[in-house]
Structure 1
């Protein structure tokens, strides 16, 4: 795959435990939290066009797709893009046509937003999947909602890519939106509202005015699909205030119209999960290409809004049951044990950092124990300093910046226990080192041998100890994200294909990709709208669960059901 021919450089998956990336992402998250209000461009978007959009479909019917968390490594991102771009997918003997609308639900690029990363990690792969508008049928339209990674530069690159004023397109998909949020009228009294929360803080006044105008014509016969950047209904189980902004929007903008919100959909958590209630579905589908996040610790039941919220005028709390998750809880638990194998392979930089820290700590311990020569003592880093570095690092690691839950004592306890375990490993290493002949050699001989022989061995052992910590900590709901981010699992992707029938029935097809494709072959003789790269190994999507059917008339409608309703 020559970048000169493709027009972009296929990227490897992000190594989320790389030391410089951890530092960079942590600083960007901190800056975004501290100075996000100063970088917030949503107020300025009031000067842009405030139109809502219409997607009437064909003969009163519309097929549309949803994908989120996509711009990571090339293979998983392009695998999903390739499936989305095909004219149709054969699923259980049924043909599901390509969506006339593609909805991107957030985090279109990793690890941070800039023009080059968007080009190589998202725009390039999607252009390669659908280079030109389809020869048959209408040109599909793409709408995108920013996630937290899109926000790290204040939406500058996001707006340049998705909100161009003229001739905006990404391959065969055209772009129409002018802001980071949008409202789209769909067939049969369905509407799509996509809100931009900016790190879950609040919804700005220009955005509220935009949606007030879009909702002015809604009535009791209308139904709403609400897109959010993050599944705050799940996060509110640990942080009750997380859902407040979404609840405020529903309560003040949508509820007064009498329209019913039948579906909330989001990405951000890199898996598929559906919670079902009396008249609403809550779906998380963040499987567009980023590393897989486990599902075995999802709560079995949610109360939304949570009763613990401090908002006095919150909506009536409703209970939702976990109906389906992908991967399954059993598969998720099994995958979590892969940290021992994948952590060293996926994160060589992090392993090297641990090796350096442990080698310096061992030399400091050995120097303190043996009282070596003057040059060795001058070179050795003070032992107390190294111990403080280890303990501070493990405690900070247990409480990562931007964690989606309040800090608890267990974070401190587990961080300190992890630190003492690493110090214990360093002590054992120093004990073994002092029993080898190398420490008696003339300086700097011990340093050279330690770097060549001791460093790689202790780096592997320290990484395995870290893996053990992550596995144990996950049972206390600490560092669960790091447990899976450190593995970088590329399989088990997911996206949604949805259909609005002429009678107003919404059918949701949750599609899973058990195994992505990692070997591709060019197709130079393909049609202008065919994918540039074809899979050299099987690449199939399947139903994660039976289609979810949100039935016809709004008034008096029962709860959504699952079934085998065939597409029209």
Structure 2
């Protein structure tokens, strides 16, 4: 991701577009953007500078055509594309509602609507019933009174492709350009949108939607999850070092308490520092397992898994202490034992504890807990996806979900030096394919 900083947006967002299309062709394509959660880190300052306030109205070879963080574009054959900004899951503000009220004056029963939203709240509402409230309010109060039909909801945010189908519309997540792959094997097979237990004072009638397609498929996504054991320490050496440091400190506290117990009364076994460190370890594991706004019976599994994870780390520290005390280093004059622990024990326990975290993530992921961390910790770059949409003269909308199983690892300067040619090309040609057969809407 780009952080909300000018340099990061230039290098990681605008830069790749410019490398792909350095000079605009005679018919310059227009780019519209909906801000996501990372765009809100700086209050949309960088987003507005690039897409809204830019004087040259140029983003690489694309032109920018919006004047706000939301937009409405009239497409051929009665189709409309509405980009909605729900302020990172917060609400639709009054200026935005007033803008779309004006747009709604141009809509009628023959209008067909595509809504581009920052996040697939129809999926997130399965765990957070209020997540879909803003989009539902928008459809219910702005679109429905015009008689227009919302035929398609599009979003990114979750880094995969998934399509839910219902009697009235399609719900598509296509965030396959994200920094790492997000799993598909834990997606709900059926959704009710909006959920019946929403806290909204008013809501549309709940309708069922079935999971019709996903990319990568569930079997491949499940295989990816097992890669956490190898990828977690390799891709996250700093995290492994942190675990090794914490476990070394916990072992030294246990070793010191055990020595006091061996030499004296036994009451020093649970010394204050040791108890504090053990409690902090368990508490950190519980907090790691908790989703935002966790409460109620819905999140009991998070508590159980979090406590179990913390206790497992304390047990690992106890086992490590027992093994360390069996070695001769502990009898050396102080501070040699501590130095030996840092040099010898730390790296080993760091790797072992990283495998414990990997095992926890794999088990927790099977219960739908820390699923994001299970894949974020691996940083899987493959299985990219994006959409192409085509509107035929007769008004048929065809959706082409395109997947790239393996991304380019090596790049070379493009020999084609024409102005619109990309600066770089992959050394091994990409092999895009359809993630599922084309989907048609009328």
Displacement of 1:290 in angstroms is: 1.8
Instruction: In structure 1, list runs of 5 or more residues that go unmatched.
Output: 1-71, 73-108, 552-568
Which residue, 448, 453, 456 being the options, matches 2:339? 448
- 2:177 matched to which residue of 1? 288
Distance 1:381 1:275 in 2: 54
SS in 2 for 1:546: coil
Higher RCO, Cα 8 Å, sep 6+: 1
1:463 aligns with 2:350: no
Written as runs of structure 1 = structure 2, the 5 A alignment for 1:347-426 is 347-371=236-260, 382-401=273-292, 408-426=299-317
- 1:198 matched to which residue of 2? 87
- 2:396 matched to which residue of 1? 505
- 2:439 matched to which residue of 1? 548
Distance 1:426-1:303 versus aligned 2 partners, 3 A rule: same
Distance 2:41 2:291 in 1: 17
Q: Residues 100-122 of structure 1: CA distance to partner in whole angstroms, max 9, x if unpaired?
A: xxxxxxxxx3xx31111111211
Displacement of 1:311 in angstroms is: 2.8
SS in 1 for 2:192: strand
- 2:214 matched to which residue of 1? 325
Deviates more, 1:524-533 or 1:121-130: 524-533
Which residue, 195, 201, 218 being the options, matches 2:107? 218
What is the root-mean-square deviation of aligned Cα atoms in Å?
2.0
Distance 1:537 1:435 in 2: 54
Instruction: In structure 2, list runs of 5 or more residues that go unmatched.
Output: none
SS in 2 for 1:217: coil
Distance 2:297 2:11 in 1: 35
Written as runs of structure 1 = structure 2, the 5 A alignment for 1:89-100 is none
Which residue, 136, 139, 143 being the options, matches 2:32? 143
Written as runs of structure 1 = structure 2, the 5 A alignment for 1:139-218 is 139-218=28-107
Displacement of 1:172 in angstroms is: 0.3
Written as runs of structure 1 = structure 2, the 5 A alignment for 1:531-546 is 531-546=422-437
Displacement of 1:165 in angstroms is: 4.6
Task: Please tell me whether the aligned partners of residues 364 and 381 of structure 1 are also in contact (alpha carbons under 8 angstroms).
Answer: no
Written as runs of structure 1 = structure 2, the 5 A alignment for 1:229-240 is 229-240=118-129
Distance 1:183 1:231 in 2: 19
Which residue, 162, 167, 172 being the options, matches 1:273? 162
Displacement of 1:280 in angstroms is: 0.6
Deviates more, 1:462-471 or 1:119-128: 119-128
SS in 1 for 2:73: strand
SS in 2 for 1:384: helix
- 1:7 matched to which residue of 2? none
SS in 1 for 2:32: strand
Q: Residues 143-174 of structure 1: CA distance to partner in whole angstroms, max 9, x if unpaired?
A: 11011111111111111111125212111011
SS in 2 for 1:241: coil
TM-score, normalised to structure 2, is 0.95
Distance 1:170-1:550 versus aligned 2 partners, 3 A rule: same
1:434 aligns with 2:325: yes
Distance 1:405 1:339 in 2: 30
Distance 1:416 1:318 in 2: 37
